[in-house]
Amino acid sequence: MTETTDAALGPVTIVETPISLDFSYTPGVAASRFLRSLQQGKLVGQRCPKCQKVYMPPRGACSMCGVATDEEVELSGKGTVTTFCVTRIPSPGLEAPYVSAWILLDGADITSMFLIQEVDPADVRLGMRVEPVWVDDSDRKSDLGNIKYYRPIDEPDAEYDTYKAYV
């Protein structure tokens, strides 16, 4: 019988603990319209009638002005990386290293978080222009999982002044 010591096994680097939580989500009018647009492969925000800010995803009201938003604004999906993080430990379904980033979508006034792929993590930078990669039409559901990740596009980096308020 062989006894294995802790030193021979090496350090524990990851512990997987499956946890699940079942719940029902009632999205409301604004989020329902947004989720349906996602199923059609579109990103649709809403503009505040008072301050003109465009929210994506929309919540049906401007949290700054306290007024309802109902003007819909379809966004191209392209955006600018304003902040990012390189994660060097694996996550379920993601090999390390991988990059998650806050992206300011063109025409929107708040950032959204997505993965950045199809690029060496060392090349990701603030101001980098990116576009969404959608799942196949037949796999689309009414959620943001329809966007698999963002990838760089062949455009010059955005000027710092255009996104400095979001860094």
Where do contacts with Zn ion occur on this chain (CB under 5 A)?
48, 50-51, 62, 64-65
In whole angstroms, the minimum distance from the beta carbon of 77 to Zn ion comes to: 23
Q: What is the DSSP letter of 91?
A: B
Distance CA 136, CA 148 (A): 10
For every residue of 117-163, DSSP letters joined together read -SS-GGG--TT-EEEEEEPPGGG--SSGGGEEEEEE-SSPPPPGGGT
In the beta sheet, which residues pair with residue 130? 79, 152
Amino acid at the residue 123: D
In whole angstroms, the minimum distance from the beta carbon of 64 to Zn ion comes to: 5
In whole angstroms, the minimum distance from the beta carbon of 167 to Zn ion comes to: 22
Select 44 or 99, whichever has its Cβ closest to Zn ion: 44
Select 51 or 153, whichever has its Cβ closest to Zn ion: 51
In whole angstroms, the minimum distance from the beta carbon of 42 to Zn ion comes to: 23
Select 36 or 50, whichever has its Cβ closest to Zn ion: 50
